[in-house]
Amino acid sequence: MTLEQTLTQHICQAAKAIFNTDLDSRLVQLQKTKKEFEGNITLVVFPFVKMLRRAPQEVAQQIGNYLADNAPEVEKYNVVQGFLNITIAKTYWAQLLEQIYHTDNYGFIPVTPDSKLMMVEYSSPNTNKPLHLGHVRNNLLGYSIAKIQEANGWKVIKTNIVNDRGIHICKSMLAWQLYGNGETPASSGKKGDHLIGDYYVLFDRKLKQQIEQLVDSGVDIEKAKQEAPLIKQAHDMLRRWEQGDPEVRQLWQMMNQWVYDGFDQTYKMMGVDFDKIYYESNTYLEGKQEVLRGLEQGIFVKHEDGSVWADLTKDGLDEKILLRSDGTSVYITQDIGTAKLRYQDFPIDKMVYVVGNEQEYHFKVLSIILDRLGFRFGKDLVHFSYGMVELPNGKMKSREGTVVDADDLMQEMILQAKEVSKDKTSKLTDISTEEADDIARKVGLGALKYFILKVDPRKNMLFNPEESIDFNGNTGPFIQYTYARIRSLQRKATEQDLNAANNTYQPQDKEVELIQRLADFPTVLHQAGIDFSPALIANYCYALASDFNSFYHDYSVLGEPDAAIRRFRLMLAATIGDILKEGMQLLGIEMPERM
């Protein structure tokens, strides 16, 4: 039970004993006491004074008296208007530190056979291009959300839907067929996803040339976009693919495998994984069947050209196309089929889609359509909508080849980390080249992940590589360096027995602040699960690391002559290190043991 839960219980007992009122625990608002006032925890009494029919000052005073007499955790109190400032006994803080130190995965709720099942979908790449910076934010958010929900007691299935069919994929295929001269990843020395991405860019460049030629010959630009030979060939290839043309399917399988191999390398470097991968090529037919069923049942309508639509005007939206006039699928058709297959495969209690905020309309439509088709999960799906990530020089465009490639970005971050941390690792006289490279990898990727995840996920963000690698301020390397400093303390103090019996040391104010910060972790973790917000974990870790560094600057640890105090401070440092590691692991960030 947390300190807040314990105090809430005492406060409800006080209301019953003093005022003969059963107080709803949800009305008990506890917060950290402001620095200008004495105390550790403040009770705001205004939410329930009307119920007790007393003045705020009187309510606070009487509850304070009760706590001082009946709550062993409470040392004293003071009342400021309608606020009861509670000072917790220092012996309680010392005991709490012992408890946290000896608790594995402090703050985590164990997953049990009875835990509910949540599926988190993220990544969702197209097989016509490599992963880019936008995918990096998506993957990091999805993976971290899955880890946070698992720490909150959910069974979690991490899933990915690969968009491996459609007009965009056909564009890359056609460009390779027309201009590739048999080039392969092996012959070019390129990762397969990079090679295919080059042909996607090439298609766009060749298409623009054809459109310009048609416009120069007097064709209207909109008609030119539809009549350009390349776009017609691409649509013809898509139709042939859906008809099962052996030649097109063989080309598709070969090129997609190149991309899958490339994706696997990127995911491994990024440190993310999946429990189940779905492929649009296997799910879109299920979606088409559901659309046709909906058409037969009068849920959807067919237009004169043969296309099938959902009329959503009664829901405040517009019409949404589900099948084109030539019978080919659109993106939402695949989502319908994938949703159906997922719920056949797993007894999901909650489905979470990690997809950018430009798709908010899409998921509103999907929710309504699934509900109309009779799927119970339709209304309950969660679209975790996050903002876009940009660079200082502006937005990225895949077709123009101006994206920031995920592989290049991660490698650049590692190189920057190696350069920036050179002075620090050079002090480690016994370090091997392999260990130095591994530290640089952890720091570089940690800088990238933390910088992206510390931002409120629903906001657009500007990624600045130079700022992210700084060892000072709210950065991943700052927290990693703090952790390495703590582990260095522990290595130097091997003779200290942290498991010895409890001592009678009375913690100083900064030590109490640190223990209180540690005690906040379960509450922060719980709220991060409710809000789907890795940023809460990231900024908690930064605050904890900052508080420790301030303490370390002002207080001696290894140099403390009193053995009991030295033991206490080593235990405090070790516990902070453990919580920092737990928190950063929830963000997918590895912590180097030394730097």
Q: Select 122-390's CATH number: 3.90.79.10, 2.60.40.60, 3.40.50.620, 3.10.290.10.
A: 3.40.50.620
Q: How many Å apart are CA 88 and CA 41, to the nearest integer?
A: 8
473 burial level (CB within 10 Å; 0-12, 13-18, 19+): exposed
State how far Cα 417 lies from the chain centre: 23
| Token pair for 359 | 């798709």
Delimit the domains of the chain by residue range. 3-88, 122-390, 406-586
Q: How far is CA 397 from CA 134, 253, 394, 463, 510, in A?
A: 11, 26, 10, 16, 50
Looking at 156-245, list the stretches that DSSP marks H as alpha helix, in order from N- to C-terminal side.
Answer: 167-179, 185-188, 192-216, 221-227, 229-242
Q: Which of 476, 450, 477, 473 is nearest to 461 (CA)?
A: 450
Q: Which of 242, 221, 229 is nearest to 167 (CA)?
A: 242
Would you give per-residue pLDDT tens digits along the chain (595 residues)? 889 999 999 999 999 999 999 999 999 999 999 999 999 999 999 999 888 889 999 999 999 999 999 999 999 999 998 899 999 999 999 999 999 999 999 999 999 999 999 999 999 999 999 999 999 999 999 999 999 999 999 999 999 999 998 899 999 999 999 999 999 999 999 999 999 999 999 999 999 999 999 999 999 999 999 999 999 999 999 999 989 999 999 999 999 999 999 999 999 999 999 999 999 999 988 999 999 999 999 999 999 999 999 999 999 999 999 999 988 778 899 899 999 999 899 989 999 999 999 999 999 999 999 999 988 778 889 999 999 887 766 444 444 445 688 999 999 999 999 988 777 666 777 888 899 999 999 999 999 999 999 999 988 988 887 788 888 889 999 999 999 999 999 999 876 666 665 567 899 999 999 999 999 999 999 999 999 999 999 999 999 999 999 999 999 999 999 988 999 999 999 999 999 999 999 999 999 999 8
Helices and strands (H, E) in the chain, number of each type? 23, 14
Tell if the pTM clears 0.85, that is, is over it: yes
Task: Look up the CATH architecture of domain 3-88.
Answer: 2-Layer Sandwich (3.30)
SS3 string, 471-496, reads CCCCCHHHHHHHHHHHHHHHHHCCCC
- For residue 474, which phi and psi values (nearest 5 degrees)? -80, 75
- For residue 347, which phi and psi values (nearest 5 degrees)? -80, 70
CATH code for 406-586? Answer: 1.10.730.10
Q: Which of 525, 543, 523 is nearest to 534 (CA)?
A: 525
Q: How many Å apart are CA 526 and CA 259, to the nearest integer?
A: 38
